[in-house]
Amino acid sequence: MARILNALKIDFAILSPEERCLGDCEWLAGEHGLFEMLIERNIATLRKYRFREIITTDPHAYRPLRNVYPSMGGSFVVKPVVQFLAERLGQVKNLLESKMLWASAQRRSDAPSLLLFLRSRLPPRGSWVNQP
């Protein structure tokens, strides 16, 4: 994903050592106390930084960030990677032509959903060759 964001010239950051589990699995397992503790810690971490939106490739991260974190004081703009790419179809088209996006998507666990989305929304690769 970092290669795709760099190719799209998107200014981004990755939390890395500060990143913690977002708690979806804990919530699903009934560990609501642990879930709330993780949310509080993550909100405090995210508030240290200035950003416009959170992009996630993980549906288990998207669900709590979008649906639960706002009720606990963590209102962030959150988008799944497919939506983020859909908003940039023109730029994504250029990446597809260069094969960079295909190579990156095929190495990811979310490749099937990403590739299905791209195939359903974009014309076949050869149809772009001689178009302005």
Under 8 Å between Cβ of 39 and 68: yes
Same domain as 54, residue 32: yes
Question: For residues 27 and 110, which has the higher predicted lDDT (pLDDT)?
Answer: 27
Positive or negative: CA dihedral 56, 60, 63, 66? negative
What average pLDDT does the chain have?
A: 78
**How many structural domains is the chain composed of?**
2
Same domain, 11 and 76: yes
Encode burial over 15-26: b for 16+ CB neighbours within 10 A, e otherwise.
Answer: eeeeeeebbbeb
Same domain for 94 and 71, yes or no, is: no
Residues 77 and 104 placed together within one structural domain of the fold: no
If asked whether residues 105 and 75 sit together in one domain, one would say no
Q: Please say if the pLDDT value at position 120 is more than 90.
A: no
Q: What is the pLDDT of residues 71-90, one digit of tens each?
A: 999 999 999 988 888 888 87
Q: Whole domain around residue 99: which residue ranges? A: 88-128
> Do residue 93 and residue 72 come from a single domain?
no
Asked whether residue 23 falls in the same domain as residue 62, the answer is: yes
Pair (92, 75) in one structural domain = no
> Residue 7 is encoded by which pair of tokens?
């190719």
DSSP letter for each residue of 23-63: SHHHHHTT-HHHHHHHHHHHHHHHTTS--S-EEES-HHHHH
Are 67 and 28 part of one and the same domain?
yes
**Amino acid 132: pLDDT:** 41
DSSP 3-state percent helix, strand, coil across the chain (nearest 5): 60, 5, 35
Q: pTM of the entire structure?
A: 0.67
Between 85 and 123, residue with greater pLDDT: 85
Q: 30 or 97, which is more confident?
A: 30
